[in-house]
Amino acid sequence: MFRHIALLAVVGVSFMSYAQEKPVTEEEFEEVKGALQGVMESAAEYRGYVDALRKIKLSGYVQPQYRLGQVDDVPYSYGGFSGGTFPQYSKSQFQIRRARFKIKYDNVLTQLVLQVDFGQTAFTTKDAYALLIDPWVKSFGFQIGLFDRPFGYEISYSSSNRESPERSRFTQTLFPGEREAGAKLFFAPQDGPLSFLRADVGIFNGSGPTALEFDNYKDAIGRVGAQLPLGKSGAELDLGVSGYYGWMRNQTKYLYRTGTLPNGSAGWIVDSAATNFGDGVPRRYAGLDAQFYYDLPVLGGMILRGEVVTGKQPGSNSTSVSFNVLNSSGIYARNFVGWYLYYIQNMGAKLQTVVKYDVYDPNTEVSSSDFTDLNTSGSAGLNVGDLKYSTLGLGLVYHWDDHVKFILYYEWVSNEELSGVSSSSPLAVYRNDAKDNILTFRTQFKF
């Protein structure tokens, strides 16, 4: 393009100089006119290319980190909810937690997004979706593909912005991978009296982001959120209500529910009716989230953020993590509750302090005193999938510049202690708090 502009300038100067020496013939004038038209057409063509390139936005980030656990070579795994389970004979490791690259084509009313993760051990597609916005009021939209489930706050809060290294234990349990293949409608007015409101509702496979659909059930997920400025104080309160309505196909005739065993202990009661085979086991969640923002004098901005989710979760005897395949050994139906609370305080322009506490109780119908030697083995026994966990995290976040930040974060992970089991029980390692605290030092580079 610059070559054509230079040529245009040279031709113009030469023509003016030549015109001063002698009159220009009609043939010479037409020749110069044709050259000018050619240059203008080329410039218009290049402008089209530039306009198209402006619609393409590239971004990404890399998160190298070092993690240090408490012990190695123990009869239990830990670290799975803090960036990955530690190898049996190692309590420390360097790793690339995330290495994301995102391409976004934004044509105002249409968007196409593709994001991949060049992980240390696997290449994964994180986002792949198309989005359309109505051309009339520009408030309604349709999205289809692979994207974040519209539930709660923490799921859609980017890992590049989150103040803690990982999402809460219950979020990772109920929504592993955060994303899901499906389609949704949303309402998000950019101005007017309802600009404080956003609503999303969609239909999804229910099999997670890395697995194909495996049954005929589809899950409905939705959230309604509101951003509410609080007068002239500069404070803001954001609120959200979420719901999940789905099913999990039972590939056996065995369905387990918590109850009282013949020996009088709490445990799993099996329903082995032939009609259970192929039937759907309910997967139901209800959630509430809130964020409060306020700029404290002297110190700086603070954020108080919380979320609570409760409902019914189908799982296996040993875990309540959502299925991504059909279960061939029966389904264990649990009532659960999970919640977290953050306090984030800015200390000047670069430093943030973080306090986070999260709790996940996968089986609210039992407590630590219900675990005994009589009911901690076999298909009817309580297991690690019924243990309640709480995690206290303390961290510092330092923003080196607009593209680099450092996180130093320590997690005290506590399981409910099973004093009622003996040293010979399969759950004996949980008679006391297991040694599974983790220190994480992360560097993030973002563009």
CB half-sphere exposure, 350, CA atoms < 13 A? 9
Are 210 and 157 members of one domain? Answer: yes
Residue 69 belongs to a domain with what CATH number? 2.40.160.10
Q: Comparing C-alpha atoms, which of 345, 350, 348 is closest to residue 405? A: 350
Q: Comparing C-alpha atoms, which of 400, 431, 397, 435 is closest to residue 417? A: 431
Least confident of 13-17, 158-162, 254-258, 388-392: 13-17
**pTM, rounded to two decimals:** 0.88
Q: Comparing C-alpha atoms, which of 444, 443, 438 is closest to residue 409? A: 438
Query: In whole angstroms, what is the distance from residue 345 CA to residue 336 CA?
Result: 31
Are 35 and 65 members of one domain? Answer: no
Count of structural domains, the chain: 2
Tally of CB atoms within 10 A around 445: 15
Are 262 and 113 members of one domain? Answer: yes
Of the residues 54, 70, 97, the one at which a domain ends: 54
| Cα torsion 163, 164, 165, 167: sign | negative
Burial class, 328, CB count within 10 angstroms (exposed 0-12 / middle 13-18 / buried 19+): exposed
**Domain span including residue 14:** 1-54
Are 292 and 360 members of one domain? Answer: yes
Are 250 and 293 members of one domain? Answer: yes
Are 31 and 69 members of one domain? Answer: no
Helical pair 2-21 and 26-54, crossing angle rounded to 10 deg: 160
Are 120 and 24 members of one domain? Answer: no
Report DSSP letters for 239-297, one per residue: EEEEEEEEEEE-SSS-EEEEEE-TTSSEEEEEE--GGGTTPEEEEEEEEEEEEEEEEET
Does residue 90 contact residue 74 with C-beta atoms inside 8 Å?
no
Confidence of residue 446 (pLDDT cuts 50, 70, 90): very high
In the predicted model, is pLDDT for residue 10 greater than 50? no
Percent pLDDT > 70 in the chain is 89
- Mean of all residue pLDDT scores within the chain: 92
Mean pLDDT along residues 41-64: 81
In the predicted model, is pLDDT for residue 421 greater than 70? yes
Identify the helix (H) or strand (E) that includes residue 171. helix 169-174
Query: In whole angstroms, what is the distance from residue 287 CA to residue 92 CA?
Result: 35
Are 32 and 68 members of one domain? Answer: no
Query: In whole angstroms, what is the distance from residue 217 CA to residue 150 CA?
Result: 18
**pLDDT score of 8:** 47
Q: Helix or strand or coil: residue 26?
A: helix
pLDDT digits over 353-394, tens only?
999 999 999 999 999 999 999 999 899 999 999 999 999 999
Are 30 and 67 members of one domain? Answer: no
**pLDDT score of 298:** 82
In the predicted model, is pLDDT for residue 7 greater than 60? no
In the predicted model, is pLDDT for residue 24 greater than 70? no
Confidence of residue 297 (pLDDT cuts 50, 70, 90): confident
Confidence of residue 23 (pLDDT cuts 50, 70, 90): low
Confidence of residue 410 (pLDDT cuts 50, 70, 90): very high
**pLDDT score of 5:** 47
51's CB contacts (< 8 A; 6+ apart) are: none
Are 38 and 182 members of one domain? Answer: no
CA distances from 243 to 285, 292, 312, 380 (A): 6, 22, 12, 31
Are 216 and 69 members of one domain? Answer: yes
The full length of the chain comes to 447
Query: In whole angstroms, what is the distance from residue 442 CA to residue 166 CA?
Result: 11
Query: In whole angstroms, what is the distance from residue 372 CA to residue 381 CA?
Result: 9
Are 115 and 214 members of one domain? Answer: yes
Mean pLDDT along residues 156-165: 97
φ/ψ of residue 11, rounded to 5: -60, -40
CA distances from 436 to 144, 360, 362, 363 (A): 40, 16, 19, 21
